[in-house]
C-alpha cells in the first residue's frame, strides 16, 4: 500500500517563516487530536503526549506563557480504551469533539486492533469531517489503514521535506511521529526548547546507534549540514544519492562530503545507515509489523539484509531484539 503525500495547509505549508508576529505565534493554541482504538500501540502515543506536555511545561516556566498545545485523546465511543499491552486510557468520543478555529494536528494510532476499527463508521465519518481542517494528518504504522478505509490521504509535516519532496512524491511510509512532533515544536517554540524536550523523552534516545544529530545538534554543526542530515533521516525509506543530499545543503558533492564528515563525524552514507537501523529498532519494538516489511519501510530492502546488519552491528537478530526490548510501557494518566 502506498499513500500519496498531500501538501499541508496553514502556516506550516512552507519552510519560510510566516508573516505572523512572534507574539501572535507564541500565544496561539494548537490542538493535538490523537485518535485511538482498542489494541492501539501505546509506546508511540505515550511519547507524543509526553512531548507536547513537556513543551507546555518548559514554555510556561521559561517564558511565562500559557500552554501552547491542547492534547485530546479520542475514540469512536469515548470512555476507556485498552492498549495492546492492556493499559487503559480515558478518551472523549469523536462525535462529541468539536473543532475550533485553532490549528489542529491529527495523529492516528497504530496497533493490532486496526482491522476492527476499520469497520467502525463513527471513526471513519469523524476522520472525513476532521481531515480537511487538520494541518497535519499523521497515521502511525497500521493507523494509515484507517485513512485508507475512509478514503483519505495522509498529510505529513512539510518541514521534514525539501520542496521537491513536498510537491507530491509518493511515500511508502510516514516519517516518524516523534520526529514530526519535535519539528513542530522547534518551529513554534525554538530549537533550544525543542532540544530540551527531545532530551527528556526516553523513546527518542533509547537507541543502540546513538542520539540523532537532528534532535541534539552540537555547536559545530552548521545549518546547511543540519538540513542535509534532517533530509537524510526523512528519506530513509527511499534510495538516496549523495548528489541529492549535497543539493539540500547547497554545496558541491565534494565540499558536502568533506563538510559532513568534519561536522557530523561520519560520512553521509554511514549516517543514513545509522538512521535506517535506528528506525528499524524503533519499529521492531513499537509495531507488530513483519521483519521483512519493516526492512522495506526502513530502506534496507529485505528481512535477510536487515538480519545481516543486526548480526554485524548488534550481534543479534531482529526477532531476538524485538523480544528482548519488549518491556511494559509506563501507564498514562
pTM attached to this predicted model: 0.56
Helix spans in 109-176 (H): 114-118, 121-130, 143-150, 163-166
For 31-80, what is the HEC assignment?
EEEEECCCCECHHHHHHHHHHHHHHHHHHHHHHCCCCCEEEEEEECCCEE
The pLDDT value given to residue 145: 86
At 71 the pLDDT is 93
The answer regarding whether domain 3-15+29-178 maps to CATH 3.40.50.880 reads yes
**Could you tell me the fold of the domain covering 206-326?**
Arc Repressor Mutant, subunit A (1.10.10)
For residue 24, what are the contacts with CB-CB under 8 A and spacing of at least 6? none
Q: What is the pLDDT along the chain (333 residues), one digit of tens a residue?
A: 222 333 333 444 433 333 334 444 455 789 999 999 888 878 778 888 999 999 999 888 876 667 889 999 999 999 999 887 678 899 999 888 776 777 889 999 987 788 888 888 998 999 998 999 899 999 887 888 888 888 998 888 766 554 333 333 333 334 678 888 888 998 888 888 888 888 776 444 356 766 565 555 566 788 888 888 888 887 887 788 889 899 989 999 999 999 999 988 899 999 999 989 988 988 888 777 889 989 988 889 899 999 999 999 989 999 998 888 764 444 333
Length of the chain: 333
Strand ranges inside the chain, DSSP E: 3-4, 30-35, 69-75, 79-82, 88-93, 103-108, 136-139, 170-171
Domains of the chain, residue spans: 3-15+29-178, 206-326
Amino acid at each position: 500500500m502506498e499513500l500519496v503525500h498531500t501538501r499541508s495547509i496553514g502556516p506550516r505549508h512552507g519552510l519560510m517563516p510566516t508573516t505572523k508576529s512572534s507574539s501572535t505565534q507564541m500565544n496561539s493554541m494548537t490542538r493535538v487530536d490523537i485518535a485511538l482504538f482498542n489494541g492501539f500501540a501505546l509506546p508511540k502515543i505515550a511519547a507524543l503526549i509526553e512531548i507536547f506536555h513537556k513543551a507546555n511545561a518548559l514554555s510556561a516556566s521559561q517564558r511565562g506563557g500559557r500552554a501552547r498545545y491542547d492534547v485530546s485523546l479520542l475514540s469512536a465511543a469515548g470512555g476507556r480504551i485498552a492498549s495492546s499491552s492492556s493499559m487503559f486510557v480515558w478518551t472523549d468520543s469523536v462525535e462529541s469533539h468539536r473543532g475550533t478555529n485553532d490549528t489542529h494536528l491529527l495523529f492516528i494510532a497504530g496497533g493490532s486492533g486496526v482491522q476492527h476499527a476499520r469497520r467502525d463508521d463513527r471513526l471513519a465519518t469523524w476522520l472525513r469531517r476532521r481531515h480537511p481542517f487538520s494541518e497535519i494528518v499523521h497515521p502511525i504504522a497500521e493507523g494509515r489503514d484507517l485513512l485508507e478505509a475512509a478514503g483519505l490521504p495522509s498529510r505529513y509535516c512539510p518541514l521534514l521535506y525539501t520542496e521537491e519532496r513536498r510537491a507530491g512524491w509518493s511515500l511508502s511510509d510516514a516519517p516518524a511521529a516523534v520526529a514530526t512532533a519535535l519539528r513542530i515544536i522547534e518551529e513554534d517554540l525554538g530549537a533550544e526548547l525543542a532540544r530540551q524536550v527531545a532530551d527528556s523523552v526516553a523513546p527518542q534516545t533509547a537507541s543502540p546507534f546513538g542520539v540523532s544529530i537532528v534532535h541534539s545538534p552540537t555547536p559545530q554543526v552548521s545549518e546547511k549540514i543540519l538540513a542535509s542530515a534532517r533530509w537524510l533521516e526523512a528519506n530513509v525509506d527511499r534510495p538516496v544519492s549523495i548528489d541529492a543530499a549535497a543539493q539540500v545543503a547547497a554545496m558541491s558533492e565534494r565540499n558536502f562530503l568533506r563538510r559532513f564528515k568534519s561536522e557530523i563525524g561520519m560520512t553521509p552514507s554511514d549516517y543514513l545507515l545509522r538512521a535506517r537501523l535506528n528506525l528499524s529498532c524503533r519499529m521492531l519494538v513499537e509495531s507488530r509489523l513483519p521483519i521483512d516489511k519493516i526492512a522495506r519501510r526502513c530502506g534496507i530492502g529485505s528481512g535477510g539484509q536487515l538480519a545481516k546488519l543486526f548480526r554485524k552491528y548488534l550481534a543479534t537478530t531482529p526477532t531476538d531484539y524485538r523480544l528482548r526490548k519488549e518491556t511494559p510501557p509506563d501507564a498514562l494518566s
